[in-house]
C-alpha cells in the first residue's frame, strides 16, 4: 500500500498545494533521483579507477611489463570525482534536510514559527547560491578563454568542466532550497499541520481545528 504524500519523506506534497509548488517539488524529487544515481556512479568510477591504477602501477613496478600503463587522464578523473561527489552530496543533503544547520534555538519554537525561521534562512541560502552561481559563470568564462592555452589535451576533466560542475552543483542546491521555501510557505499560510517527516521535531497536533 502506497503511503500518502503527507507521510512520505522528501518533497512530496498533498494535492491541495498550488500547481506551481507541486511542479517545483516534483522537479526537486527528480533532481534528487539523478543526484543519487550520480553519487553511486561517481563513487564506483572513483573506486574502480583508483584500484586499477594502484594494481597496474605496482605490477609494472615489479617487472610485469605485460600490464598496460594506466592512462594519464585517470589522475584527473579521480581528482575531480571527489569534487563532483562533494557537490552531488551537498545537493542531496539539502533535499533530505540533512545539511549543516544550527537548530538549538529553532527546536524551542512551535512548528509554524520554526518553518517561518527556516523560510528566512533558506532564502538567505538561495541568495548565497545565486552569488556563487554568478561567480561560477564568470570563472567558467575565464576558463573558456584560457582553454586554448591548455597543454594537457588528453585530460578528460578540464578546468572548463570543473567550472561547469561548480555552477551545476550550486544551482542544484538552490533549487532544493527553493522547493523547501515554497512548501514551507504553503504550510505557514494555510495553517495546515506539516507531516512529522517534513519537520522531524514538529508537533503532530499543530494545525488541528484549522480550516
86-130 pLDDT, tens digit per residue, is 999 999 988 887 665 655 566 666 777 788 888 898 899 999 999
Closest CA to 53 of 42, 38, 68: 68
Cα–Cα distance measured from residue 178 to residue 184, given in angstroms and rounded to the nearest whole number: 10
**If you average pLDDT over every residue of the chain, what do you get?**
79
Cα–Cα distance measured from residue 73 to residue 118, given in angstroms and rounded to the nearest whole number: 43
* pLDDT level of residue 158 (50, 70, 90 thresholds): confident
171-192 pLDDT, tens digit per residue, is 999 999 999 999 989 988 888 8
Amino acid at each position: 500500500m502506497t503511503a500518502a504524500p503527507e507521510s512520505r519523506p522528501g518533497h512530496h506534497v498533498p494535492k491541495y498545494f498550488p500547481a506551481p509548488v507541486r511542479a517545483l517539488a516534483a522537479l526537486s524529487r527528480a533532481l534528487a533521483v539523478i543526484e543519487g544515481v550520480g553519487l553511486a556512479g561517481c563513487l564506483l568510477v572513483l573506486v574502480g579507477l583508483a584500484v586499477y591504477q594502484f594494481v597496474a602501477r605496482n605490477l609494472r613496478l615489479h617487472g610485469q611489463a605485460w600490464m598496460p600503463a594506466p592512462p594519464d587522464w585517470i589522475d584527473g578523473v579521480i581528482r575531480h570525482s571527489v569534487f563532483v561527489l562533494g557537490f552531488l552530496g551537498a545537493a542531496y543533503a539539502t533535499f533530505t534536510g540533512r545539511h549543516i544547520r544550527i537548530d538549538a534555538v529553532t527546536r524551542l519554537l512551535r512548528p509554524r514559527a520554526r518553518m517561518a525561521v527556516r523560510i528566512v534562512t533558506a532564502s538567505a541560502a538561495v541568495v548565497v547560491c545565486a552569488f556563487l552561481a554568478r561567480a561560477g559563470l564568470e570563472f567558467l568564462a575565464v576558463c573558456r578563454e584560457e582553454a586554448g592555452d591548455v597543454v594537457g589535451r588528453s585530460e578528460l576533466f578540464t578546468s572548463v568542466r570543473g567550472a561547469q560542475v561548480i555552477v551545476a552543483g550550486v544551482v542544484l542546491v538552490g533549487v532544493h532550497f527553493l522547493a523547501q521555501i515554497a512548501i514551507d510557505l504553503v504550510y505557514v499560510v494555510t495553517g495546515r499541520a506539516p507531516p512529522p517527516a517534513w519537520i522531524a521535531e514538529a508537533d503532530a497536533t499543530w494545525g488541528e481545528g484549522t480550516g
